Chain A
């Protein structure tokens, strides 16, 4: 055992443990599943942008809604019959709007945790050493742009309302359709995920120090806080629901799903 003497003072350094982690559980499983889940969403999103079978009356695929392109959007797919983007634009309608919900998820506090862990391994799991030699966090470009999350939240509120409107239209025109109920469930989950956002929690009343002076905002904050506790679960469920709803509408539009109550 090393002795401490005036000639050999105790060196103040960490325990020299030479392994990356001493964890014995399957710490790699969650980041791996997260990586696969988020990757599948990205791959599906790219395919959905390329694919043009996004409408079959009265269903609009969520990845293409609101459909704003005159040349690409049939009358029933347009939001209030409105298509402000002229015939000059011939690319996918989804390309125009996916940046908003995509940016909302990209800058979401939960998704940040998940992709920092699973894609960037910073860290891959708690008490597992990350592979990077240097770390500056969210203080510099580009990661300082994460601070615009609240603006994506405002946009996501609009997109959520549009999806709810699409679901209501489907309910009116085809209440017996399976696709209608898939769109309704998706709209509920998307809006629940949006409202459970940390920025929403801050905006309702989180920024206040005197809740007692703002009882209505405090009640709203209390409600959002309850949803916020489930933000992670809502993030995953809504991500898969929007993929499932979008895929269903496209399969119906392509005629691959064609039973009477589709």
Chain B
């Protein structure tokens, strides 16, 4: 079974552009990225779209479909009505290079600002000994495919460009949480999370969790636990006193 679907696709460079109308064939089992490719092949050969694996694992084809951040390769056409007009736009938080391709270098910049895994000085590589229960919390965060849809949907920077300097977004706050929960990491992540990476901007409205294609519980398992650790460190006098008196180890 095939039918003709109506599409509106954002076309332009450097932010200036418009939604262009297309009518395009859709076949059983296809996803939105297939339709974008058919548009390239038949009607708009210069339409730019970033893609790679077509399996939801590379995180390249992040776009906004009917206003929602989605992976083009994981959004089935069967989820739409046949008479529905489907709007496809680039991720709104990042600058556009061309058409559906955005410049996501903000994310790489933020990644570079996080110090890498820092083991204790007296523990050499090969000497790490960890129980599975100690590392499995962090392993959830390693599922991230860096599609950057969580950073795209986060209203802190999506609606307030000026916050980009001080806020690293859920993806990288999750990275900090991953390191902070690591049994062998000794770097001071909590102070950095709050002061340099803007954890306090997060108002836990959970959009990052809603759009994550890997279904990582970013808010519940990374951001809120990290907020609680920051409370221990900065805002809770009893914990501070307890740590001083009993020299508690983590």
Contact = CB atoms under 8 A, between A and B. Distances in A.
Interface in B173-225: 180-183, 198, 200-207, 210-211, 220, 224-225
Interface stretch (A74-82, A137-145, A163-171, A243-251): A137-145
A2 B134 contact: no
Interface stretch (A18-26, A52-60, A97-105, A182-190): A18-26
A233 B163 CA distance: 32
B155 A209 contact: no
B87 A12 contact: no
Contact of A113 (B46, B161, B181, B206): B206
Given A137-B202, A211-B133, A212-B134, A12 B14 contact: yes
Give the interface SS of chain A, mostly helix, strand, loop or mixed. Answer: loop
Nearest to A132: B159
Given A2-B16, A137-B156, A211 B134 contact: yes
Interface size band for B? 35 or more
A229 to B, nearest CB: 8
Interface string A73-109: 0000000000000000000000000000000000001
Contacts of B207: 123, 126-127
Given A22-B87, A209-B134, A127 B68 contact: yes
A150 B231 contact: yes
Interface in B221-240: 224-225, 227-232, 234-236
A2 B12 contact: yes
A107 to B, nearest CB: 11
A144 B200 CA distance: 8
Query: Secondary structure of the B side of the interface?
Result: mixed
B66 interface: yes
B97 interface: yes
Contact of A14 (B93, B163, B201): B93
Interface string B141-173: 000000000000101101111010000000000
Nearest to A3: B13
Nearest to A120: B203
B95 interface: yes
B66 A199 contact: no
Interface residues of A, number: 55
Contacts of B17: 15-16
A232 B156 CA distance: 23
A23 B14 contact: no
A156 B94 CA distance: 43
Contact of B15 (A15, A127, A201, A207): A15
Contacts of B84: 24
A238 interface: no
Contacts of A17: 10, 89, 92
Contacts of B229: 202, 207
B182 A211 contact: no
Interface-centre pick from A1, A137, A148, A212 (highest chain B CB count, 10 A): A137
26 contacts: A1-B11, A2-B14, A11-B15, A11-B16, A13-B15, A13-B95, A15-B12, A22-B87, A24-B67, A112-B203, A113-B203, A113-B206, A122-B155, A127-B64, A135-B201, A137-B198, A138-B200, A147-B236, A201-B225, A202-B228, A207-B229, A207-B250, A209-B134, A209-B181, A209-B182, A210-B250
Interface of B: 10-17, 46, 64, 66-69, 84, 87, 89-90, 92-97, 103, 131, 133-134, 153, 155-156, 158-161, 163, 180-183, 198, 200-207, 210-211, 220, 224-225, 227-232, 234-236, 250
